């Protein structure tokens, strides 16, 4: 899979989705893919961030992570998004990034990109599936090839069994309630496999 280029684009306020993105990066690089790890621009005002110590700590700790750009989309064969649920949909930070890609969409530069998504919420019914589906709706407009984990490996059941994408519940103190590392890595492996098949079919 050394020829597959994967952009992992995430938004994380207190670190959960950043950690999931890191696991994804680790697995993709171990599989021989070229990987870009990118965060979307933070839109929240400083006063909101500073009122939440965990948010402020994570914000300061990830200043060196490069922000996502349109080039990260055009460069990639595959895209993996990770972002928390906000009232059952993707957060505004990620939505704005997607909304800014109208030029790429208009020129057909999003067509046939292989994509997948991951998320988190405070409880299993806090919008996890709906959040991923909200992103997939945009990706249908983009003409992408959506790759879900489905139930393709037993490891997914230990992670909560979300067929749309890996999702995790996070406690009030920021602790993940399910063991999702292996599910994340399986999802990445599946994305890379499909991306390679697509790339080979276009040669």
Write the CATH number for 163: 3.40.50.360
Number of domains in the chain: 1
> By residue range, what is the domain housing residue 88?
5-201
Is pTM beyond 0.85? Reply is yes
Tell me: the pLDDT tens digits for 74-119?
999 999 999 999 999 999 999 999 999 999 999 999 999 999 999 9
Tell me: the pLDDT tens digits for 136-164?
999 999 999 999 999 999 999 988 899 99
Q: Torsion angle, CA of 84/90/92/95, rounded to 10 degrees?
A: 130
**Which residues lie below 8 Å from residue 71, measured CB to CB, with a gap of 6+?**
none
SS3 label, residue 158: helix
CA distances from 96 to 90, 92, 102, 162 (A): 10, 6, 11, 26
Q: Do the Cβ atoms of 12 and 83 come closer than 8 Å?
A: yes
Integer Rg of the chain from CA: 16
**Which residues lie below 8 Å from residue 198, measured CB to CB, with a gap of 6+?**
77, 112, 114, 145
The β-bridge partners of 7 are 36, 79
């Amino acid at each position: 899979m050394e020829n597959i280029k994967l952009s992992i684009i995430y938004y994380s306020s207190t670190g959960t989705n950043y950690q999931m993105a890191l696991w994804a990066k680790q697995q993709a690089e171990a599989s021989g893919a070229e990987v870009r790890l990118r965060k979307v621009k933070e839109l929240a005002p400083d006063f909101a961030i500073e009122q939440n110590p965990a948010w402020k700590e994570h914000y300061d700790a990830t200043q060196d992570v490069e922000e996502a750009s349109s080039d990260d989309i055009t460069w990639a064969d595959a895209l993996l998004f990770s972002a928390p649920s906000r009232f059952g949909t993707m957060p505004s930070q990620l939505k704005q990034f997607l909304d800014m890609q109208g030029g790429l969409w208009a020129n057909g530069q999003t067509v046939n990109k292989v994509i997948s998504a991951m998320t988190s919420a405070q409880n299993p019914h806090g919008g996890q599936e709906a959040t991923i589906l909200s992103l997939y709706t945009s990706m249908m407009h983009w003409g992408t090839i959506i790759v879900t984990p489905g139930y393709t490996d037993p490891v997914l059941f230990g992670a909560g069994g979300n067929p749309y994408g890996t999702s995790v519940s996070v406690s009030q103190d920021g602790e993940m309630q399910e063991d999702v590392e292996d599910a994340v890595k399986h999802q990445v492996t599946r994305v890379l496999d499909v991306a390679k098949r697509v790339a080979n079919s276009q040669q």
